[in-house]
Each structure stands twice: as C-alpha cells, then as structure tokens.
Amino acid sequence: MAKTAKIEIKKLTRKINNMKYKSLLNMVLAALSIFGMASYSQIHAQETSEGENFVRSNDPIVLQRADPFIYKHTDGYYYFTGSVPTYDAIEIRRAKTIEGLQDAKPVRVWEKHESGPMSRHIWAPEIHYLDGEWYVYFAGSEESDIWKLRPYVIKCSGQDPLKDDWIELGQMQAADNDPKSFTDFSLDGTVFEHNGKRYFCWAEKTGGQFAASNLYLAEMESPIKLKTVQFMLTTPDYDWERIDFWVNEGPAVIKNDGKIFITFSASATGACYSMGIMEADADADLLDRNSWTKSRYPVLKTNEAKDIYGPGHNSFTVDENGNPLMIYHARDYEKAVGDPKMVPESDKRSLEEIKADPLYDPNRHARLMEVKFDENGRPVFEFY
C-alpha cells in the first residue's frame, strides 16, 4: 500500500508541482508523511525551485498551450504566446521571469472572425518586435473550409501589446515574382534575422490537406511581405517524419559557434510527434540547398519513462542569465482523445473519428528545457 502510494504521489508531484496548486500538494504530502505513506522531505526535495532548478524540470510551465513561443524583450519582460485549446483567439502573457509566466494573467488581444478568413483554427501565434513595433504572426482558416489555412499578421497600435489595440494587416504576402507561396495549406510562420537580413520560415502543403507539409524559407521585404521566392528547406524524407501524416512544421532558430540551426517538428500531433534539425554555416547562403544538412534521426521524441509524449513545436529564448532555453509542448499520456466540443460544426466526421484525432485533445502543455551543446557546437536536447 505504502509503495503504491509513493509511486502515485511522485507522479502527481511531477505533473503539478510547479502549478498554482503547489501549496495544496505540499499539505497533502505532509499529511501523508504523518501516516508513514511517504517521506515528505524526500518527495519535497524533488520539487523545482526558483531559478535553475525550475528549468531543470519536465513539468509544464503553462497548461494546455500548444505551439508555445517566448520572446524576451529589451524591457526585461518575457512575452508568451501559444495556441489556446479552443483555437479561437490570440492571448499574450507577460512576466519579469520565466517562472513568472506560469501565473501571469493571459490577455486576449484578438479573437477570430465569425466567418470568412481567420474564422477557424487560430494556430501557433508568435509575437515579434520588428522595426520598433509589435507584430503577431499566426495561422487561421475559414468556418466554411477549416483546412484553408493561411498565415496572417496583426500589428499593435502602440508599445504595450497587452493594453493597446491590435490592427489586422491581412494575409502574409508573397514576393511579386512568387506565384506559389501561401496559395495552399500554410501555417507555423516564424521570423528571424541573420547577417543583416530578415527571413520568414513556414510550413506549406502542396496538393491539399493530405499532401506532404514542407518547410519553406524566404527573405522578407517588410514585416508583411516576402522579398524572394520560396526556397524549400526540407520535406519529410524519413519514416519518423511520415507517421500518420507526412509533416515538417513548427520551425525555430538557434545559433551557436558559427552555425545556424533550424529545428522542426514531424509527423502527426499524437505520441509520434518528434523534432528534427537542419544545420548550416553562419556565413552560408541560407537560400541555397547545398548550405543545409538535415538530421537523419529525431533529436527529441516521446519518452515513456518520463511521461512525455509527442514533444515538439518548440521555440527558443534565454533565461535571466542569458543561457539558452527551449520551450516545447507535449502531453503526459500516450493515447490522445479528441474533444468533440473543440471541433467545428462543419467537420462532418463521426464521433469515433473525432475522438481518435489528437489535434482536438487540449492537453498539450508548454514545457521548458535547458539547451546544451556538444563538442561540435550542436544543440543537445535531453529530458531531466
């Protein structure tokens, strides 16, 4: 009995010890220790604390926020965005510390339309500060065509993204001589700067919903328009990128030791979801296919022993001391179950089909990981 209780308590501790119910958990553990069912001091020591120990944890930092993105601004604040479970709005939260994000109040700055573009599937918002102004890049579809996903941009009217109004700038625009970009299922756009140039990297399918999702890269002319034609960075080449769906998506950029890396996520959104990585020399032409090499194997995948399933769609930031961190989403159980309440009325699938779709299981939680580098300067992603 006592052994079983210890196992269950440790599982509970691992899942919620960084959440707002930590104090309640401590009281429960203390009470159980009185009856000899668990050692309070022993279990309590496993909890994370402020600073480094907080990051050294597999626990969620924000519950039910897939596609997490953190931007650290020059004002010293961290800004967090992610897909809300209902896929119907854009929320931003702000805190002075990474740990503070878990208790920061989310502010809804924009909500979906009732019909037409941007009326369904509001996914993967990223907040960026470009040329002295705030922008959010996100994907959205239409109530009447839920897979007609395109990348959109909104811009803050002032300098406080939580208080000032946001203005819709419309769909991201392709370069004048590019007839292909953003004409099909397109999502997961991210912005980065390198060697004095600004780039947009995104996922796009060619041939409709069930075709392969590739990653594309282009230089930007402005915050809402590309300067160059699309360059295909990667397509699903390996078996681990082709489970249920052929997918490369969710790009994120990190640089180190004369190299630039673009991580990406692969396969469907269940436990098979995993991360790969692309690599190029920092002084290479990023729009040249020969500049890039790709990992043959996933660099992060499900770890059953640690109850982490389907890790991916990450982004990068730094902690308060400038050390690199990765934020990603994952579930803490293997078999995802779709919630019919999250599914639009225009989705005519059966109840059984919906429940089998992990896309509508809301429990992808945002988590942190400390990023280390190997002797060759490549990032290493390891669970604690």
Whether residue 200 is found in the same domain as residue 335: yes
pLDDT in tens, 27-40: 443 444 444 443 32
E-only strand ranges, 22-144: 60-62, 66-72, 78-83, 89-95, 107-111, 120-130, 133-142
Please tell me the total count of domains within the chain. Answer: 2
Range of the domain at 278: 48-380
- Token digits of residue 128: 């960026």
Q: Which residues contact 280 (CB under 8 A, 6 or more apart)?
A: 259, 260, 286, 291, 292, 293
pTM for this prediction: 0.87
∠37-39-43 over CA atoms, to 5°?
120
350 Cβ neighbours under 8 A, 6+ residues apart: none
| pLDDT of the residue at 14 | 46
Looking at 99, 241, 249, 319, which residue is catalytic?
249
- Tell me whether residue 307 is one of the annotated catalytic residues: no
Q: Among 227, 222, 224, 214, which residue's Cα sits nearest to residue 178?
A: 227
Say if residue 231 is in the same domain as residue 358.
yes
User: What pLDDT sits at residue 70?
Assistant: 99
Same domain, 24 and 73: no
Q: Which residues contact 321 (CB under 8 A, 6 or more apart)?
A: none
Amino acid letter for position 280: A
Closest CA to 166 of 127, 116, 199, 196: 127
Do 230 and 98 have their domain in common?
yes
Spot the catalytic one: 47, 59, 67, 319: 67
Residues 6+ apart with CB under 8 A from 192: 198, 199, 201, 253
Provide the residue count of the chain.
Answer: 384
Residue 43 has what pLDDT? 32
Asked if residue 11 and residue 132 are part of one domain, the reply reads no
Higher pLDDT, 55 or 301: 301
What is the average pLDDT across 145-169?
A: 98
Confidence at residue 333, expressed as pLDDT on a 0 to 100 scale: 97
User: Residue 13: what pLDDT?
Assistant: 47
Residue 79 exposed, middle or buried by CB count within 10 Å (0-12, 13-18, 19+): buried
Residue 3: pLDDT over 50: no
Rounded to whole angstroms, the Cα distance separating 374 from 249 reads 25
Share of the chain above pLDDT 90, in %: 78
Q: What are the two backbone dihedrals, phi and then psi, of residue 240, each rounded to the nearest 5 degrees?
A: -70, -10
Residues 289 and 231 sit within 8 Å (Cβ to Cβ): yes
| Sheet (strand 274-281) strand order | 248-256, 259-266, 274-281, 293-294
Same domain (yes/no): 247, 306: yes
Average pLDDT over residues 49-60: 70
Residue-wise pLDDT tens digits, 247-285 = 999 999 999 999 999 999 999 999 999 999 999 999 999
Q: Are the CB atoms for 174 and 180 separated by under 8 Å?
A: yes
Query: Do residues 1 and 138 both lie within one domain?
Result: no
Nearest alpha carbon to residue 238 among 270, 264, 207, 200 = 264
**Confidence (pLDDT) at 57:** 79
Q: Do 8 and 59 share a structural domain?
A: no
pLDDT score for 210: 67
CATH of the domain at 372: 2.115.10.20
For residues 154 and 37, state if they share a domain.
no
Does 219 lie in the same domain as 158? yes
- Considering the domain architecture, whether residues 141 and 209 belong to the same structural domain is answered as yes
Query: Is 67 marked active-site?
Result: yes
pLDDT digits (tens, 9 = 90+) for 353-371: 889 999 999 999 999 999 9
Tokens standing for residue 172: 């991201």
- Looking at residue 317, its amino acid is T
The b-or-e profile of 332-360 (16+ CB within 10 A means b, else e) is beeebebbeebbbeeeeeeeeebbbbbbb
**Is residue 228 located within the same domain as residue 246?**
yes
Q: What is the pLDDT of residue 262?
A: 99
* 85, amino acid identity: P
